Structure 1
Amino acid sequence: FLGRLSLPERTFITDALRTETVGGMLLLGAAVVALIWANAWPQAYQSVLDYTVGPSAPLHLNLSLATWAKDGLLAIFFFVAGIELKREFVAGELRTPSAALLPVVAAVCGVALPAILFALVNSGSGGHPSGWAIPTATDIAFALGVLAVVGSHLPSPLRAFLLTLAVVDDLIAILIIAIFYSHGIKFWALGLAFVGLALFWFLHRRGVHGWYLFVPLAFVTWALMHESGIHATVAGVAMGLMLRCHREGDEQHSPGEHIEHLVRPLSAGLAVPLFALFSAGVAVSGPKLREVFTQAAPLGIVIGLLVGKSVGVFGGAWLTARFTRAELNPRLKWADMVAVSVLAGIGFTVSLLISELAFPDDPALAARA
């Protein structure tokens, strides 16, 4: 479709998709459409989710559209997140320990406290402790989208703090998925996936160019990771971390920056909204809403995101500034940190993913989550 547009129109659309405001609005719009579709025409929505496409041999890729969105499209999102994380390590807030300490500790506390609160709420006989990781994730697109909307009223360093916080949060979420929510590992497929990743790294470091080489290699590596039992999104973030994000010689942009510039519109404009469309459609009614506040699993998520994230992020940052040499940016006030701590409680993309992984045999519970 974009290929049929004139160059100025295509440039305008792709530039718009690189802004957090537009990406966040598309994500929100897709979630609203999913909710309306799932409640007004539930059978049609479910039939679309269950429609299978793809080859069954040799890597069992005859998957439903919902699975393609969860395992395939989110790999693109995590690929961009991996590049962001690498860039933060080499050129951003994470490159110096003193600057990184505050947001890193805030992110860790913002993961630990929601998990603890969820576990406490679900410690009784009717609890579901396997969902402990659902409220630990911050949605980068939503949080930065909200921050961009009100950006004129907040100091600019707040965005850098939130981005660093969310990137570290994503790294922790990826490790949680890989360690706790992977199952039945097939070591032959995992070994071949590592070979694919090594080849990806080798070609990139040798300065080899050409999407026609890297895209098929990335797809095969993703398919092998999917077959191995490790969640396929791990392949996306691994390839993102392998890209060189520092400039050499007379380069105006590093390869990582260039590739992120190209892929981000695909992630923000297609991959994440489609994932939301296929994942956020749950039946909403009075009785079902009451279950959110009366059953342990959904209540633990509410408390974890609303209370755990806010208190964990703010408390971690404050304690770090109070008892170490780390300091808050002079342009920021602690009232600003309260605001960013609440924004960190927006859990959507990764939280939806972990909800499905945590309760694979109970779709009704996953829907409430």
Structure 2
Amino acid sequence: MPRPSARTRKSTRRPVATVWPFRPTARYGGQVAKALRLETVGGIIMLLAAVAALIWANTPWSDAYYDLQHVEFSPSWLNIGHMDLAHWASGGLLAVFFFLAGLELREELTHGELRNPRDAALPVIAASAGVVLPALIFLLVSAGEAGASRGWAIPTATDIAFALAVLAVTFSACPAPLRAFLLTLAVVDDLIAITIIALFYTDSMKWGWLGLGVVLIAVYGFLQSRGVRSPWVYAPLAVLAWYFVLKSGVHATVAGVALGMLTSPRETPDGRPTNAERADHFLRPFSAGFAVPVFAFLSAGVTLSVSALGDVFTDRIALGVIAGLVIGKFIGVFGGAWLAVRSGLATLGADLHWREIAGVAMLAGVGFTVSLLIGGLAYTDPSQLERVTTAVLIASVLASAAATVVFRRRTRARALLSDRPG
């Protein structure tokens, strides 16, 4: 029987005792945290945050929204230059999101689909093709536009939380292998995206700061390998590593994914939760309930007037983003999976159907979190960034709608098959 993933494995720790006045608060807080560990809940909260931002940005009080985005918080003792709330959300809060992505990747490599090269071939090849095709389509559509070369990576990303939430809501009969395929696809996609950010969206490198960050990340990994369990040791190391990577000029989310991948999933002799399980247990509710929704709220507020939407559909960079996510992701993921199976490099599971793979390929066009992050790194001009953000939102809605149609039909088809006698 396959070992359950870190996000689904139950902790064996005994609950912390609480005195009477705080028992209801502790109980309700635990219930909220448990709910936030579900992808469906996290995806819905993120969606609500984005909708709230869109509504506020299209009211007479929109100036207050943009003022909130640019509220500066840069204490002199941190020596990090000028950072407003939007930058803290993308460089700070999203580091937690990518830390969890690193945990998921390590889990897949250790216990999941990626531990066996033949099993890993299908989602890895599909994810790789799903990065290359959208980038090529973006460059083709936006060719000749000023600054087009900066945005080629925007349509290459798939949002894990959003995609899994749509899958859970729209495909009640979803077979476990299909969900595993999407999860592995999205995790590999995230690894490629963070590599792209590190290599192509670092304008200047300060090697001394980066060296300090690498040393601390290495110390973190060494202590994990030695079985040290105290979070009071790891928390300061992680924060300092994040700070040094931020100072180096490399996007700080790189530190998050590196630390996540180095967090140990090793079982303990007494059956206690692993370091990876404990980190996932405590950080996932924070990521799903605060970090990602705040980033979505501070990033998704764009003007949706007729003229603004007209600008999106006449801007070839924005059109390249839409085409890359909606068309490129589908062709890349589905085509990559098909070629992997046809060439004999991978096999399609007995409980999977090509129409369901097609639905996942459509769903991969939900870029949202990472696409918005890369868009903010690629374009600093406010008007161009707003058009790109709007394009990501439009593409994510279109991809979700197309996938929903496919999954609804597959739900009915599976229901009919299960009702047949024999």
Per the alignment, residue 302 of structure 1 pairs with: 322
Per the alignment, residue 412 of structure 2 pairs with: none
Say yes or no: does 1:13 pair with 2:9. no
> Secondary structure in 1 aligned to 2:285?
helix
In the TM superposition, what is the alpha-carbon distance from 1:176 to its structure 2 partner?
0.2
Say yes or no: does 1:24 pair with 2:47. no
| Contact 1:78-1:237 at 8 Å conserved across structures | yes
1:258 to 269, 274, 278: 278
In the TM superposition, what is the alpha-carbon distance from 1:123 to its structure 2 partner?
1.2
Flag as ranges the 4+ runs of structure 1 deviating above 3 A.
none
Per the alignment, residue 84 of structure 1 pairs with: 104
Aligned residue identity for 1:293: F
RMSD between aligned residues: 1.5
Unaligned runs of 5+ in 1: none
Could you list the per-position Cα deviations for residues 25-51 of structure 1 after superposition, in whole angstroms to 9, with x for gaps in the alignment? 000000001111112122111111111
Rounded to whole Å, the distance in 2 between the matches of 1:135 and 1:245 is 32
Alignment of 1:209-224 (within 5 A): 209-224=229-244
| Contact 1:20-1:145 at 8 Å conserved across structures | yes
Rounded to whole Å, the distance in 2 between the matches of 1:125 and 1:343 is 28
| Contact 1:59-1:223 at 8 Å conserved across structures | no
Per the alignment, residue 193 of structure 1 pairs with: 213
1:246 to 260, 266, 291: 266
Unaligned runs of 5+ in 2: 1-21, 389-422
Rounded to whole Å, the distance in 1 between the matches of 2:276 and 2:81 is 29
> Secondary structure in 2 aligned to 1:63?
coil
Per the alignment, residue 291 of structure 2 pairs with: 271
Could you list the per-position Cα deviations for residues 288-334 of structure 1 after superposition, in whole angstroms to 9, with x for gaps in the alignment? 11122211110001000100001110010011101114111100010
The structure-2 alpha-carbon separation of the partners of 1:181 and 1:315, relative to structure 1 and needing over 3 Å to count, comes to same
1:113 to 133, 154, 175: 133
> Secondary structure in 2 aligned to 1:34?
helix
Moved more, 205-214 or 261-270: 205-214
Per the alignment, residue 38 of structure 1 pairs with: 57
In the TM superposition, what is the alpha-carbon distance from 1:223 to its structure 2 partner?
1.1
The structure-2 alpha-carbon separation of the partners of 1:27 and 1:4, relative to structure 1 and needing over 3 Å to count, comes to farther
Per the alignment, residue 196 of structure 2 pairs with: 176
Rounded to whole Å, the distance in 2 between the matches of 1:302 and 1:11 is 40
Paired positions, count = 366
Structure number with greater Rg is: 2
More relative contact order in 1 or in 2 (CA 8 Å, sep 6+)? 1
> Secondary structure in 2 aligned to 1:153?
coil
In the TM superposition, what is the alpha-carbon distance from 1:259 to its structure 2 partner?
1.2
Normalising by structure 2, report the TM-score.
0.84
Alignment of 1:107-186 (within 5 A): 107-125=127-145, 128-186=148-206
